[in-house]
């Protein structure tokens, strides 16, 4: 019996979920090879990782703390990729959001906390959104590829941030460290639980996921995004304002990445520095893909990726195996889900045993 | 004006420009070859890292300099094969696969480096390629030291430009590669394998990219650092568009960037007190974006770029 591939019309939720989970597990399984090469025991390593990520209230808080920006950057990639707008610039948009939050929230405005927190969030959302609207306009106006431009802008933004925190925004009280003046107390996110680092940014992320879920499933914009993502020409023919839809997607996508920056600066660091993000923007792409571009799934995928990073750090301290293992799991997760997505598009069938699609 | 004259008048500046351009030449050529065959390879940033690390580590472990070059090329080819499998065989998104390859190649290189050399504070060094002075020409006043005292890998890069240009435009193979990126149906009609040609181009192109990384650790420097690639790969992706997918223009673009970079380093030394250094560092990226915007509309890009191919497909 020869095997052949048949296109699959629609993958069920159960199948999509199992492909995502299988991809994460496959990534962990493959990583056993480099762990063995580093003369470590993979079983011990994984148990230590799980303990480091979930083994105590403190560990859980650290994992959710790490997941917070990943939920937001994951949602940023989710909404953009659904419309086939390849936003690879979440890292830069994150920094622009953080920059806007610091500009507004470190003394420019004097507002009570009930207004200050929304003000910095709005500023961060708009700043991040603008960072995506510009490449989208360049794409529409000149046909310039948004992948490369959003990527290159990441480098421009990080240099801009370095310039500002060594120059006009530099905190004179920071003992010469290149970091910005801190946020006012009113502009900071409260902790969710005293003495643990988890903060209200997590709630922002969860609410954003719910809003986005509602948007893609129930709203007109969600329908338009789906149509534009599936076939731009057909959408245009059907009278959908393609360019305007793309700009809305760009604003929301960049804005969500900007909120990730606001969340990190207002919930964790309280000042802007060039090491605010260890690549949250890039990991967000993996989160979105692992979640199959599902907003709710992005929350789970973000927790998984965060657990890998937090767990790997703790495992690395215990065993001496390099914590770059976490990046390796993240990269392999992306490639495994990519292979998995092949099985979502096709089913393997035996000749003569044709299955109804 | 004196400052500018001093900079452009020094042989040292032009030698540095060519040195800085060398990894870009390898990278642009590699990316160009992939894209000519219809496959965008965003794995380039990671493949640079892999080439830099693998080549260096091989030399450090005693493989010899040319052994290191070979190992780097093989590392690049391996990641190219993976990218080819995902995008050409399975027909998956070239964008996402490329990003995945970059993440994988970078993390695996860092992990391997850390694991091979666990407890070092300062990076160990190797004896890198030495400049080869071309007899007679290198004795020319000014031009000699500026142009004719480069290391073997720079000469290899320049040779590859000529070779790729020759293959692409003067051989049946080159015709087939260009056709496979423009109109794969015509290639299939000739009885040639679309997938085979594409896989070959992506694997070869990725090996070339890795040599760009190897140049950094084995010729420009003598050690491997974390973050040493720092966006060079992405610049190459922009340069391919700038070069309209032509090897000759790719060389010019790379040299222009090399000259610009060498220039900003020297200018910074002169006026760094007045203008923040980051402005100069931003310029290559901003120029790349500008180039993309200006060239995009009239760009003569391969028509089948980003389009997967299944056997028997008709357009």
pTM over 0.90: yes
With respect to residue B27, please indicate whether it lies within any of the assigned structural domains: yes
Can you give the three-state secondary structure of B211-240, one letter per residue? HHHHHHHHHHCCCCCCCCCCCHHHHHHHHH
Helices (H), chain B: 2-8, 11-36, 44-60, 65-84, 94-116, 143-147, 152-170, 172-182, 184-189, 194-215, 232-242, 247-271, 277-296
B94 touches chain A (CB under 8 A): no
Q: How many whole angstroms separate alpha carbon B175 and alpha carbon A171? A: 60
Q: CA-to-CA distance for A292 and A272, rounded, in angstroms?
A: 32
pLDDT (0 to 100) of residue B175: 94
CA B73 centroid distance within chain: 12
Tell me if residue B131 falls in helix, strand or coil: strand
Residue A306 to residue A298: CA distance in whole angstroms: 12
- Which residues from chain B sit within 8 angstroms of residue A286, using beta carbons? 103
Residue B149 host element (H or E): strand B149-151
Asked if residue B137 belongs to a domain, the reply is no
Task: Name A170's bridge partners.
Answer: A180
DSSP designation for B138 = G
Q: Per-residue pLDDT tens for B162-178?
A: 999 999 999 999 999 99
Q: Is residue B13 part of a domain?
A: yes
Collect all residues of chain A within an 8 Å Cβ-Cβ radius of residue B100.
331, 334-335, 338
Determine the distance from the C-alpha atom of residue B161 to the mean position of all C-alpha atoms in its chain, rounded to a whole number: 11
Closest listed residue to residue A136, CA positions, set A235, A240, A243: A243
Residues of B in contact with A152 (CB under 8 A): 231, 234-235, 238, 285, 288-289
Mutate to test the interface with B, among A7, A155, A160, A342 (most CBs of B within 10 A): A155
Distance CA A246, CA A240 (A): 11
| Secondary structure of residue B194 in the 3-state scheme | helix
In a domain, B47, yes or no: yes
Q: Are strands A3-7 and A346-350 parallel, antiparallel or unpaired?
A: antiparallel
Compute CA B54 distance to the chain's CA centroid, rounded to the nearest angstrom: 16
Do residue A156 and residue B103 have CB atoms under 8 angstroms apart? no
How many CA within 13 A on the CB side of residue A150? 31
B197 three-class SS = helix
- Return the exposure string of A153-181: e unless at least 16 CB atoms fall within 10 Å of the residue's CB, then b: bbbbbbbbbbbbbeeebbbeeeeeebbbb
Within a domain: B132 = no
Q: What's the structural domain count of chain B?
A: 1
Residue B315: inside a domain: no
Asked if B79 and A331 touch (Cβ cutoff 8 Å), the reply is no
Kindly state whether residue B153 falls inside one of the protein's structural domains. yes
Q: Return the residue of B nearest to A328 by Cα.
A: B107
Give Cβ neighbours of residue A43 (< 8 Å, ≥ 6 apart): none
CATH of the domain at B198: 1.10.3470
Q: Can you tell me whether residue B128 is helix, strand or coil?
A: coil
- Min Cα separation B171/chain A (Å): 31
B147 touches chain A (CB under 8 A): no
Which residues of chain B are within 8 Å of residue A324 when distances are taken between CB atoms?
107, 110-111, 114
User: A339: nearest CA in chain B?
Assistant: B86
The CA radius of gyration of chain A, in Å to the nearest whole number, is: 21
Residue B151 three-state SS? strand
Does ipTM exceed 0.95? no
Among B43, B278, B286, most A C-beta atoms within 10 A, so best to mutate, is B278
Judge: A339–B99 Cβ closer than 8 Å, yes or no. no
Our measurement of the distance from residue A115's CA atom to the centroid of its chain's CA atoms, rounded to an integer in Å, reads 27
Count the residues in chain A: 357
- Contact between A335 and B231 using a beta-carbon 8 Å cutoff: no
Which domains can be identified in chain A, with CATH numbers?
Answer: 2-351 (1.10.3470)
Is B81 in CB contact (< 8 Å) with chain A?
no
Q: How many CB pairs under 8 A join A and B?
A: 126
Nearest to B296 among A145, A147, A321 (CB): A145
**Interchain proximity B296–A341, CB inside 8 Å:** no
CA distances from A249 to A81, A136, A329 (A): 9, 10, 30
Tell me if B134 is assigned to some domain: no
The rounded distance, in Å, linking the Cα atoms of B39 and B41 is 6
The residues near A117 (Cβ < 8 Å, ≥ 6 apart) are A186, A187, A189, A266
Spans in chain B with pLDDT lower than 50: 315
| SS3 state of residue B8 | helix
Confirm if B210 and B72 have CB atoms less than 8 A apart. yes
Mark out chain A residues that contact chain B at CB-CB < 8 A: 34, 37-38, 86, 88, 138, 142-145, 147-149, 151-153, 155-156, 159-160, 162-163, 166-167, 282, 285-286, 289, 320-322, 324-325, 327-328, 330-332, 334-335, 338-339, 341-342
Mutate to test the interface with A, among B47, B100, B234 (most CBs of A within 10 A): B100
Closest-CA residue in chain B for A345? Answer: B92
The residues that bridge with A180 in the sheet, in sequence order, are A170
What Rg, from alpha-carbon coordinates, does chain B have?
A: 20
Give me the pLDDT at residue B1, please. 60
* Interchain pair B288, A285: CB under 8 A: no
Low-confidence ranges of chain A (pLDDT < 50): 1, 351-357
Q: In this complex, is the C-beta atom of B282 within 8 Å of any C-beta atom belonging to chain A?
A: yes
CA distance A205 to A211: 10
Q: Is B114 on the interface with A (CB under 8 A)?
A: yes
C-beta separation of A93 from A261 below 8 A: yes
Q: Provide, as residue numbers in chain B, all residues whose Cβ is less than 8 Å from the Cβ of A37.
A: 115
* B85: DSSP letter: I
Separation of alpha carbons A201 and A71, rounded Å: 10
Rounded alpha-carbon distances, angstroms, from residue B164 to B142, B157, B180: 30, 10, 16
d(CA B296, CA B184): 23
Q: What is the 3-state secondary structure (H, E, C) of chain A?
A: CCEEEEECCCCCHHHHHHHHHHHHHHHHHHHHHHHHHCCCCHHHHHHHHHHHHHCCHHHHHHHHHHHHHHHHHHHHHHHHHHCCCCCCCHHHHHHHHHHHHHHHHCCCCCCCHHHHHHHHHHHHHHHHHHHHHHHHHHHHHHCCCHHHHHHHHHHHHHHHHHHHHHCCCECCCCCCCCEECCCCHHHCCCECCCCCCCECHHHHHHHHHHHHHHHHHHCHHHHHHHHHHHCHHHHHHCCCCHHHHHHHHHHHHHHHHHHHHHHHHHHHHCCCECCCCCCHHHHHHHHHHHCCCCHHHHHHHHHHHHHHHHHHHHHHHHHCCCCCHHHHHHHHHHHHHHHHHHHHHEEEEECCCCCCC
Q: A335 and B100: CB-CB below 8 Å? A: yes
Residue B115 has its nearest CB partner, among A167, A322, A327, at A322
- Asked if B111 and A153 come within 8 Å (Cβ–Cβ), the reply is no
In 3D, which of B152, B56, B48 has the Cα closest to residue B102?
B48
Rounded to a whole number, what is the distance in angstroms from the first to the last CA of chain B?
A: 58
Put simply, whether B103 touches A (Cβ < 8 Å) is yes
């Amino acid at each position: 019996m020869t095997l052949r591939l048949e296109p699959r019309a629609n993958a069920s939720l159960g199948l999509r979920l199992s492909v995502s989970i299988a991809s994460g597990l496959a990534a962990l399984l493959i990583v056993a090879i480099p762990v063995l090469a580093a003369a470590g025991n993979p079983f011990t390593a994984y148990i230590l990782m799980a303990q480091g990520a979930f083994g105590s209230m403190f560990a859980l808080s650290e994992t959710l703390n790490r997941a917070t920006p990943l939920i937001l950057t994951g949602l940023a990639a989710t909404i953009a990729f659904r419309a086939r707008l390849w936003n690879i610039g979440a890292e830069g948009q994150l920094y622009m959001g953080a920059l806007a939050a610091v500009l507004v929230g470190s003394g420019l405005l004097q507002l009570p906390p009930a207004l200050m927190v929304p003000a910095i969030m709005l500023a961060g959302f708009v700043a991040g959104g603008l960072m995506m609207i510009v490449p989208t306009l360049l794409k529409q106006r000149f046909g310039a590829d948004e992948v490369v431009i959003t990527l290159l802008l990441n480098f421009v933004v990080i240099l801009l941030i370095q310039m500002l925190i060594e120059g006009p925004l530099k905190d004179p009280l920071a003992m010469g460290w290149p970091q910005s003046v801190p946020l006012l107390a009113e502009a900071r996110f409260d902790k969710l639980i005293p003495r643990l680092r988890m903060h209200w940014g997590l709630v922002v992320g969860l609410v954003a996921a719910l809003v986005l879920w509602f948007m893609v499933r129930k709203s007109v914009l969600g329908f338009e995004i789906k149509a534009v993502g599936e076939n731009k020409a057909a959408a245009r023919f059907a009278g959908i304002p393609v360019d305007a839809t793309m700009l809305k997607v760009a604003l929301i996508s960049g804005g969500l990445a900007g909120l990730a920056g606001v969340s990190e600066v207002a919930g964790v660091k309280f000042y802007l520095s060039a090491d605010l993000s260890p690549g949250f923007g890039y990991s967000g792409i993996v989160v979105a893909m692992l979640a199959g571009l599902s907003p709710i799934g992005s929350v789970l995928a973000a927790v998984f990726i965060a657990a890998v990073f937090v767990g790997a750090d703790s495992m690395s301290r215990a065993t001496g195996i390099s914590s770059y293992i976490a990046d390796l799991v993240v990269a392999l997760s992306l490639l495994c889900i990519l292979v998995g997505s092949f099985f979502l598009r096709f089913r393997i069938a035996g000749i003569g045993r044709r299955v109804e699609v | 004006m004196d400052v500018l004259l001093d900079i452009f008048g020094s042989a040292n500046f032009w030698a540095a420009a060519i040195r800085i351009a060398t990894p870009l030449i390898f990278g642009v050529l590699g990316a160009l070859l992939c894209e000519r065959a219809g496959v965008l390879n965003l794995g380039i940033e990671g493949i640079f890292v892999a080439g830099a690390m693998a080549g260096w580590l091989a030399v450090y472990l005693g493989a010899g300099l040319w052994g290191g070059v070979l190992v780097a090329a093989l590392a690049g080819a391996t990641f190219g094969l993976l990218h080819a499998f995902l995008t050409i065989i399975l027909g998956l998104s070239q964008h996402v696969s490329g990003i995945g390859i970059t993440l994988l190649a970078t993390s695996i290189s860092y992990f391997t480096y850390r694991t091979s050399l666990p407890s070092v504070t300062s990076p160990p060094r190797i004896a890198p390629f030495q400049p080869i002075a071309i007899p007679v020409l290198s004795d020319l006043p000014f031009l000699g030291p500026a142009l004719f005292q480069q290391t073997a890998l720079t000469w290899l890069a320049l040779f590859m430009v000529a070779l790729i240009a020759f293959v692409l435009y003067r051989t049946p193979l080159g015709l087939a590669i260009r056709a496979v990126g423009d109109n794969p149906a015509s290639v299939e009609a000739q009885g040639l394998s679309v997938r085979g040609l594409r896989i070959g181009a992506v694997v070869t192109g990725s090996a070339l990219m890795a040599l760009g990384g190897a140049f950094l650790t084995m010729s420009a420097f003598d050690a491997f650092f974390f973050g040493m690639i720092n966006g060079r790969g992405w610049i190459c992706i922009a340069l391919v568009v700038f070069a309209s997918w032509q090897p000759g223009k790719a060389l010019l673009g790379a040299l222009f960037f090399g000259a610009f970079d060498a220039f900003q380093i020297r200018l910074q030394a002169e006026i760094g007190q007045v203008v923040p250094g980051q402005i100069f560092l931003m310029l290559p990226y901003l120029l790349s974006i500008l180039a993309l915007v200006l060239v995009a509309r009239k760009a003569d890009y391969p028509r089948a770029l980003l389009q997967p191919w299944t056997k028997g497909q008709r357009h």
